[in-house]
A and B are shown apart, each in its own frame.
Chain A
């Protein structure tokens, strides 16, 4: 890591590259110092608000939908292609269509995050709910447990590792959703900040905001991993 940074520093100075094209590392650091608080932070917070809000809604929503679909095989067959379709279509293109319905405020960005995150959570949880070991289900039959009891006591717990894999992927997609939501809708958010800075060739702010978004994404991801490690303590 340090080697790369050193190389970067030397190359920019040695070839005295125009700071507009590739700012040296120290430029970026200075950009961080003076520009972080006034410019980058507020936008970062807006995006983070949408991101976290969207994610927190998408998680229970996704698991709930997966639980409902898992109840019958036909439902699973019908739901899977639909889920894949929503998963694959980048939500950013639906934004211009949603705007006439919802209008321009932040709600739409949260919706973008939800629509981007929920499908992968549903897909993973669905796979988890439909692949429970037969022996565990037999155990429940020996107690004459009802369908709901079986789900609550066995299926959900047995599928937890798969569900969390979905949550991790969801976290990645939600950050993508949040940033693309900013770019598509505009009006605040780190995405627009980067775009504007790039258009005004303020490359050091571009780099600084990119690094801060990446930092935000990494922190959120580690939070999800940390929660998983505590919840699935028995592994």
Chain B
């Protein structure tokens, strides 16, 4: 078996709701990640894509399947030691309000027993990573004094400071307005390229996924597995130009949008004769997922 960098084989996960029901969220998910690759995971809301990311980061454990990372295999999720090789960014930045930006970014280093770096090295590393995200002037300020974009930048800096080889991003720009989202996605592109990291990002913004990733994994509805893998045909330099003019942009966008709303046509076939347009029945289907969606956070 060739020594692959980060491989997830038939990951399964079922969740117990407090009414005692068990729901299979992840059926058999296989994801193979090469080193220095930027992967996006997309899918309709409620398909468990965030849950999959949490399993990768060791936040939730999996009901079945195998994870292999840099050659060694983990039956029930990565162990504590390997976690220091992962950086996780949450959707709502998840900063600690009682700590300054500097102390927030310092947090991961407090768990890094193996590296007995001295105080000065730590400070230097934190300042570097803060400069990388453009927040070196905000070292002393508290999270409440920062805008949404700046808080998310601090979260990204915090996920980079202990120099992990894999970055896991759970809809990092979901809560930001369109303009800040665009700026941050370009900055993320630059960071990925310059720091030579491997990035796995969950998103439901098509434009963002196409701009950033080399490969997009599309998940189906619950119980989900990977239905499509799209290779994004843009080189790094092309991504800095206006992608709208790129010859293949419209084709790959339509392909991706088709896959994402694919399941809905299948549903409409046996949907009751609803005189409203097809959009209404997809809406209806989403509504019925509403209550389950509420308990399973993804």
Residues of A within 8 A of B (CB): 135-136, 138-139, 141-145, 149, 153-154, 157, 160, 232, 234-235
Whether A144 touches B111, Cβ cut-off 8 Å, given contacts A139-B90, A234-B142, is yes
A139 touches B94 (CB 8 A): yes
Find the B residue at minimum CB distance from A136: B94
B97 touches A234 (CB 8 A): yes
Whether A142 touches B83, Cβ cut-off 8 Å, given contacts A149-B111, A157-B96, A234-B98, is yes
Shortest beta-carbon distance from B76 to chain A in Å: 13
Nearest 5 Cβ contacts at the A-B interface:
A144-B80, A142-B88, A144-B83, A143-B111, A141-B59
Contact of B86 among A142, A149, A154 (CB under 8 A): A142
A149: B residues at CB distance < 8 A: 111
* Cα of A153 to Cα of B96 in the assembled complex, Å: 9
A145: B residues at CB distance < 8 A: 111
A143 touches B94 (CB 8 A): no
* Cα of A143 to Cα of B80 in the assembled complex, Å: 7
Contact of B94 among A135, A144, A153, A234 (CB under 8 A): A135
Q: Quick check: is B13 within 8 A (CB to CB) of the other chain? A: no
Contact of B58 among A144, A157, A160 (CB under 8 A): A144
* Cα of A153 to Cα of B110 in the assembled complex, Å: 10
B96 touches A142 (CB 8 A): no
Interface size on B, residues (CB 8 A): 25
* Cα of A153 to Cα of B111 in the assembled complex, Å: 11
B98 touches A142 (CB 8 A): no
* Cα of A143 to Cα of B81 in the assembled complex, Å: 9
B59 touches A142 (CB 8 A): yes
Which residues from 68 to 113 on chain B have a C-beta closer than 8 Å to any C-beta of chain A? Answer: 79-81, 83-84, 86, 88, 90, 92, 94, 96-99, 107-108, 110-111
Bits for B98-135, please: 1 = Cβ < 8 Å to A, else 0. Answer: 11000000011011000000000000000000000000
Could you pull out 27 A-B pairs where Cβ atoms are within 8 angstroms?
A135-B92, A135-B94, A138-B90, A138-B94, A139-B90, A141-B58, A141-B59, A142-B57, A142-B58, A142-B59, A142-B83, A143-B107, A143-B111, A144-B58, A144-B80, A144-B81, A144-B83, A144-B111, A153-B107, A153-B110, A154-B96, A157-B96, A157-B98, A160-B98, A232-B98, A234-B98, A234-B99
Find the A residue at minimum CB distance from B100: A234
Residues of B within 8 A of A (CB): 54, 57-59, 79-81, 83-84, 86, 88, 90, 92, 94, 96-99, 107-108, 110-111, 142-144
A160: B residues at CB distance < 8 A: 98
* Cα of A141 to Cα of B86 in the assembled complex, Å: 12
* Cα of A235 to Cα of B143 in the assembled complex, Å: 10
A138: B residues at CB distance < 8 A: 54, 59, 90, 94
B81: A residues at CB distance < 8 A: 144
A235: B residues at CB distance < 8 A: 144
* Cα of A205 to Cα of B203 in the assembled complex, Å: 74
* Cα of A89 to Cα of B223 in the assembled complex, Å: 55
A141: B residues at CB distance < 8 A: 58-59
A154: B residues at CB distance < 8 A: 96
A143 touches B83 (CB 8 A): yes
B57: A residues at CB distance < 8 A: 142
Find the B residue at minimum CB distance from A145: B111
A135 touches B110 (CB 8 A): no
* Cα of A154 to Cα of B104 in the assembled complex, Å: 12
A234: B residues at CB distance < 8 A: 97-99, 142-144
Residue of B97, B98, B99 contacting most chain A CB atoms (<10 Å): B98
A136: B residues at CB distance < 8 A: 94, 96
* Cα of A53 to Cα of B81 in the assembled complex, Å: 46
Shortest beta-carbon distance from B176 to chain A in Å: 17
* Cα of A10 to Cα of B83 in the assembled complex, Å: 77
* Cα of A139 to Cα of B86 in the assembled complex, Å: 12
* Cα of A153 to Cα of B97 in the assembled complex, Å: 12
B84: A residues at CB distance < 8 A: 143-144
Find the B residue at minimum CB distance from A160: B98
* Cα of A235 to Cα of B84 in the assembled complex, Å: 31
B79: A residues at CB distance < 8 A: 144
User: Assuming A139-B88, A142-B88, A144-B79, what are 17 further A-B pairs, CB within 8 angstroms?
Assistant: A135-B92, A136-B96, A138-B90, A139-B94, A142-B59, A142-B86, A143-B83, A143-B84, A143-B108, A143-B111, A144-B81, A149-B111, A153-B110, A234-B98, A234-B99, A234-B142, A234-B144
